[in-house]
Structure 1
Amino acid sequence: MRANIKDVSKAAGVSIKTVSRVINNERYVRPATRARVEEAMAALGFQPSQAARALAGGKSFQIALVCSNPGPYYLHGLIAGLRGRCAAEGVRLIVHAYEVEADELGADVLTFFRQMGFDGAILTPPIVDNEPVLDELDRAGTPYVRISPGVQPERSASVAIDNEGAARAMTRRLIALGHRRIGFVVGHRSFAVSNQRLSGYLDALREAGIPLDLSLVQQGWFDFRSGQAAAEELLALPDAPTAIFASSDDMAAGMLSVAHQRRIRVPDQLSIAGFDDTDLAKLVWPPLTTMRQPIRAMAERAAELLFSGTAEQVVLQSELIERASTAPRWG
């Protein structure tokens, strides 16, 4: 039979209340007593009931990852970064994916929090900038960490990269390869990072003295299909671009598929670059030149901030990864 708290109490020679204090990591337990209880639990193979812990400590032992799921590879990176730390803390990770276009986006997320009573939350764009949601979390005293906030980064603990600087660096690299007609695919309008990456692209053009051609800027939504649609528009131009920079790997992959359909050789006739360096960037052909956003490391750091209660704004480094989808301007 499975050992219970009474068995541990008897084996360690302490009260059930003392065992409960050790399980809940409470203070005021002598080190020698704590060690004896932990030895008894290990010897009996005792696993504390999470439900019992919650009732005793008023905690749910659950945290929420609230995300819009712009792409499966991005979401996988977030979960991979959070899973290990949550397991080490004895906390369950609950993922709540929402539709960005939902009319009642904020209300849906608020209902989710109120129903579940989480001990903490990690928020991703665009919900990171939803003021009613942040206000509610503050009122409830629920700790949260924001990944890539667009406004008021100092409002909470957060983890981000310099999206503007990263996009500027990628555009500079394409310019250095001799490209002057450089298309750009903007991400979803609801994401602050979309404007940040667009700003970096525009800055690099200005630095190089390249006039802005608005026909080279297309709206995307961070997904494969919008990348295809943007490529169709850009490649149909009378003076088509020789390079295209998409602000996500999923959109860049969509552009690659259109180039292949049109018998356009990548990178000989057209260079294509992405953003994120998800696993997808290495699976397509040719593999994508991309700006690495350390998604897994960002999630790991967000978990550290949440569990430590540190109100810090962390900025991690991005990295330009050059692969076979870009080359010097042809012709």
Structure 2
Amino acid sequence: MATTSKSARRKGRAVTIHEVAAAAEVSPMTVSRVINGNANVRPATREQVMRAVRELGYTPNLAARSLAAAQGTRIALIYTNPSGAYLSELLVGALRGAARCAVQLVVDSWDGLSAEAERSAARALGRSVAGVLLPPPLCESKGVVAELVAADVPVVALASARFGDDVSHVRIDDFRAGREITEYLLSLGHTRIGFIKGHPNQTASTRRFEGFQAALATAGISLDSGLVQQGYFTYRSGLEAAEKLLARRKPPTAIFASNDDMAAAVVSVAHRRGLEVPRDLSVVGYDDTSAATTVWPELSTVRQPIASMADSAMDILVRAINRKEKDVHMVVDHVVAHELVRRDSVAPPASQD
């Protein structure tokens, strides 16, 4: 074993893990594994490290030990979201939060699973992870949530309008955001506004449509059901809905699509029909994902800070996991501020004739 000066102790300075590593002739990582009880260390090496610890009077940093322990905390992010842009923002935030909280992030897709298969997968998941982050639409699945709650696994539902006593939520006020962006179109003089709904399996879709309706009612404008089309948060569903709206004898002067993917599809259909955006048609989206700025003109939209929301959800999960050991159950409803982003896809209507 290498000889290490004990001047650090004589001067009252705390011995570092690097000094222990040098004395034991191993790496600092090996010292950390021994201190934290990792089984993947040879007995001889373990004894060598512990001898150096005793001789140098090393006291492990409690904060560092907590951080190392957190490395064994597994949090799952399960998704079936059809929007690639949304998923990208979600993963960025979840990975950032996992790195900051020093937890292991397990990412899995349940695309194509039946409701019963989802419940079975949730049951198995509940036995292997400490917490679960559920984005839409899985956060709306009563079966999935019930299985995880029954397994006593903390859950944070992301971007869901529903709030219950069993799981925490991180969301924006979709009703208010839907109303505000509609009011923006109305303020410019649009009164014939088309609306493309989000997927009916998500409560946020309903709240956005309710906000749209509320803004029209306040302005004294009756809802024209012919200007409302069902979408499913996919680009293709946006194409189909936009074709129907713009094929009308009296088409809308503006279209509010319930996410950016569908709004980008509206712009594409408008261009194909020889319409100029925003001179002939104003278009607004929702979420402010990368899809909003990869089309021309760039989309006015509601900024839902998806990455920051996922990051915050990781914090809530880690706190819930720590509290669970103390038999404390706390549900959080964290409402995040949204923002109306004005870009070049909106202008006053050329005519309301």
Is this a same-fold pair by TM over 0.5?
Answer: yes
When residues 221 and 111 of structure 1 are mapped into structure 2, their CA distance, relative to the original with a 3 A threshold, is: same
Deviations 1:199-247 (A, max 9, x none): 0111111111111111100000101111111110000000000000000
Partner Cα distance (1:117, 1:280) in 2? 35
Residue 91 of structure 1 aligns with which residue?
103
Equivalent residue in structure 2 for 1:80, among 72, 85, 92: 92
Deviations 1:146-200 (A, max 9, x none): 1123333443221110001100001111011111110000001111111111101
Residue 285 of structure 1 aligns with which residue?
296
| Alignment partner of 1:199 is 2:219 | no
Supply the AA of the counterpart residue of 1:76: S
Supply the AA of the counterpart residue of 2:331: A
Deviation of residue 37 (structure 1)? 12
Supply the AA of the counterpart residue of 2:291: L
Residue 13 of structure 1 aligns with which residue?
54
Supply the AA of the counterpart residue of 2:59: T
Q: Structure 2 length normalisation: TM-score?
A: 0.78
Equivalent residue in structure 2 for 1:123, among 134, 137, 142: 134
Deviation of residue 121 (structure 1)? 0.5
Supply the AA of the counterpart residue of 1:151: R
Partner Cα distance (1:154, 1:330) in 2? 49
Deviation of residue 112 (structure 1)? 4.7
Residue 44 of structure 1 aligns with which residue?
none
Supply the AA of the counterpart residue of 1:174: L
Supply the AA of the counterpart residue of 1:97: S
Partner Cα distance (2:280, 2:59) in 1? 72
Extract unaligned runs of 5+ from structure 2. 1-25, 35-45, 321-329
Deviation of residue 70 (structure 1)? 2.6
Instruction: State the secondary structure of the residue aligned to 1:283.
Output: coil
Residue 240 of structure 1 aligns with which residue?
251
Supply the AA of the counterpart residue of 1:321: V
Instruction: State the secondary structure of the residue aligned to 2:85.
Output: helix
Residue 312 of structure 1 aligns with which residue?
332
Q: How many residues align?
A: 299
Partner Cα distance (1:202, 1:190) in 2? 19
Q: Give yes or no for contact 1:182–1:216 (8 Å, CA) kept in 2.
A: yes
Supply the AA of the counterpart residue of 1:9: M
Deviation of residue 140 (structure 1)? 1.5
Instruction: State the secondary structure of the residue aligned to 1:155.
Output: coil
When residues 134 and 211 of structure 1 are mapped into structure 2, their CA distance, relative to the original with a 3 A threshold, is: same
Q: Give yes or no for contact 1:98–1:105 (8 Å, CA) kept in 2.
A: no
Instruction: State the secondary structure of the residue aligned to 1:275.
Output: coil
Partner Cα distance (1:158, 1:166) in 2? 17
Instruction: State the secondary structure of the residue aligned to 1:222.
Output: coil
Partner Cα distance (1:129, 1:37) in 2? 37
Supply the AA of the counterpart residue of 1:259: A
| Alignment partner of 1:151 is 2:162 | yes
Residue 196 of structure 2 aligns with which residue?
185
Q: Give yes or no for contact 1:153–1:313 (8 Å, CA) kept in 2.
A: no
When residues 101 and 33 of structure 1 are mapped into structure 2, their CA distance, relative to the original with a 3 A threshold, is: closer
Deviations 1:114-161 (A, max 9, x none): 5x6111111112222322322222222111111123333443221110
Deviation of residue 94 (structure 1)? 1.4
Q: Structure 1 length normalisation: TM-score?
A: 0.83
Q: How does 1:1-331 map to 2 (within 5 A)?
A: 3=30, 5=34, 6=46, 7-13=48-54, 33-35=59-61, 61-99=73-111, 102-104=114-116, 106-114=118-126, 117-309=128-320, 311-331=331-351
Partner Cα distance (2:294, 2:337) in 1? 24
Instruction: State the secondary structure of the residue aligned to 1:13.
Output: helix
Partner Cα distance (1:170, 1:324) in 2? 14
Extract unaligned runs of 5+ from structure 1. 15-29, 42-46
Partner Cα distance (2:273, 2:292) in 1? 21
When residues 105 and 328 of structure 1 are mapped into structure 2, their CA distance, relative to the original with a 3 A threshold, is: farther
Deviation of residue 279 (structure 1)? 1.5
Deviation of residue 98 (structure 1)? 2.4
When residues 320 and 36 of structure 1 are mapped into structure 2, their CA distance, relative to the original with a 3 A threshold, is: closer
Instruction: State the secondary structure of the residue aligned to 1:149.
Output: coil
Deviation of residue 36 (structure 1)? 10
Partner Cα distance (2:294, 2:216) in 1? 30
Supply the AA of the counterpart residue of 1:224: Y
